[in-house]
Amino acid sequence: MRRVVDGPVAEWISTAVRLGLAVVWAWAGLAKISDPAVAAQAVRAYRILPEGLVKPVGYGLPFLELALALLLVLGLGTRIVAVISIVLLLTFIAGISSAWARGISIDCGCFGGGGAVDKSQTEYGQEIARDCGFLLLALWLVYRPRSKASLDGWLAL
């Protein structure tokens, strides 16, 4: 049975998805890396992790996001990066959902900032929907990692 999207069309779609997801991770990482204390504050605001893990996660997350962005731009380990992206996005969705369910009023800190905000400033539904959209992009790359201008393609030769 032939796939709905196959061949060169699928490769171009995968290229656009790969680069789009790279922009998302780069944007998120660059927004946080300049002020790691604020990134740690955003992690702390969720009230999920023990205090001993707040700084390592807050300080390390921007580097992970930038590494994912770089690997996606290069098209290196695309399927693995997509799986890591899925795990990270599911973690973010769970964290936002948890804060929402517990009535905690925070800015998610996804693209910098973060921490306590007035209840009228929360946008949990939009943040979850956005991350679900990014999740769909990552899922596409798990099933269709082959793309144009990719080191994965060069290494497969």
Number of domains forming the structure of the chain:
1
Is 1 inside a domain boundary? Answer: no
Q: Whole-prediction pTM value?
A: 0.90
In sequence order, which ranges of 6-123 are alpha helices (DSSP H)? Answer: 7-33, 36-45, 51-74, 78-101
pLDDT at position 4 is 55
Is 155 inside a domain boundary? Answer: no
Q: What percent of the chain has pLDDT over 90?
A: 78
pLDDT at position 45 is 94
Is 156 inside a domain boundary? Answer: no
Is 94 inside a domain boundary? Answer: yes
Is 15 inside a domain boundary? Answer: yes
How many CB atoms within 10 Å of residue 126?
A: 11
Which residue, among 130, 115, 113, has the nearest Cα to 31 in the 3D structure? 113
Is 62 inside a domain boundary? Answer: yes
CA dist 133 and 124 (Å) reads 14
pLDDT at position 1 is 44
Residue 110 pairs in a beta bridge with 112
Is 2 inside a domain boundary? Answer: no
pLDDT at position 8 is 83
Range of the domain at 109: 7-150
Is 78 inside a domain boundary? Answer: yes
pLDDT at position 20 is 98
What b/e readout covers 69-94, taking b as 16+ CB neighbours within 10 angstroms? bebbbbbebbeebbebbbebbeebbe
pLDDT at 155 over 80: no
